[in-house]
Amino acid sequence: MKSTLFCLCAVVLGATALVDLGGKLESGLETVVGNALETTGDVLTSDDFSKIQFILYTNSQNASYPIANAADLLADANFDASKPTVLYMHGWQESNESESVGVVSRAFLQRGSHNFVLLDWGAYVDGDYITSFLRVSAAGEAVGAAVNRMVDAGLDRDTFWPIGHSLGGQLSGVMAKSLNFKPSRITALDPAGPGYGVPGTPELSRDDAVMVDVIHTDAGVAGFAANDGTIDFWPNGGTRPQPGCNVGETDLPDSLLFCSHHRSYEFFAESVNDETAFPAVSCRSLLAFESGLCPVGKSNVVYMGFAAPATDLTGTFFLRTASEKPYALGVEGALPATTTTTTTTTTEAATTTEAATTDAATTIPSVADSASSGGIVGLLRWLG
Q: State the pLDDT at residue 254.
A: 57
The CATH number of the domain where 319 resides is what? Answer: 3.40.50.1820
Q: Are residues 169 and 34 in the same domain?
A: no
Residue 363 resides in a domain: no
What is the rounded distance in angstroms from the CA atom of residue 320 to the CA atom of residue 333? 4
Same domain, 186 and 274: yes
What is the tally of helices (H) and strands (E) in the chain? 11, 11
Tell me if 180 sits within 8 A of 148, measured CB to CB: yes
- Cross-strand pairs, 57: 116
Please say which residue of 292, 307, 334 terminates a domain. 334
Q: In this structure, are 63 and 212 located in the same domain?
A: yes
- pLDDT tens, position by position, 76-92: 999 999 999 999 999 99
241 pLDDT band, cuts 50/70/90, is: very high
As a whole number of Å, the end-to-end CA separation of the chain is 39
- Residue 201 inside a domain? The answer is yes
Q: What is the mean pLDDT of residues 208-229?
A: 97
Predicted confidence at residue 309, as pLDDT, reads 85
| pLDDT tens digits, one per residue of 316-362 | 999 999 999 999 999 999 999 974 333 333 333 344 344 444 444 44
In terms of DSSP bridges, do strands 301-303 and 279-282 run parallel, antiparallel, or are they unpaired?
Answer: antiparallel
How far is it, in rounded angstroms, from Cα 177 to Cα 47?
20
Summarised one tens digit per residue, pLDDT across range 353-371 is 444 444 444 445 444 443 3
DSSP class of residue 195?
T
Residue 142 placed within a domain: yes
pLDDT of amino acid 383: 24
Model pTM above 0.85: no
Is residue 9's pLDDT more than 60? no
Per the structure, the count of domains in the chain is 2
Assess whether 39 and 117 both reside in one domain.
no
Question: What gap in Å lies between CA 88 and CA 324, rounded to an integer?
Answer: 24
Q: What is the pLDDT of residue 312?
A: 64
Nearest CA to 147 out of 52, 213, 60, 229 is that of 52
The answer to whether residues 36 and 57 belong to one domain is: no
- pLDDT for res 255: 56
- Euclidean distance between CA atoms 217 and 23, whole angstroms: 21
Q: From residue 349, how far is each of 25, 180, 343, 359 by CA, in Å?
A: 44, 56, 10, 15
Instruction: Specify the pLDDT at position 40.
Output: 52
Task: List pLDDT tens digits, range 89-142.
Answer: 999 999 999 999 999 999 999 999 999 999 999 999 999 999 999 999 999 999
Instruction: Name the residue range of residue 27's domain.
Output: 19-44
What are the DSSP calls for 75-137, one per residue? GSTT--TTS-EEEEE--TT--TTSHHHHHHHHHHHHH-SSEEEEEE-GGGSSS-HHHHHHHHH
- More reliable by pLDDT, 132 or 5: 132
Mean pLDDT, residues 153-177 taken together: 99
Do 31 and 59 fall within a single domain?
Answer: no
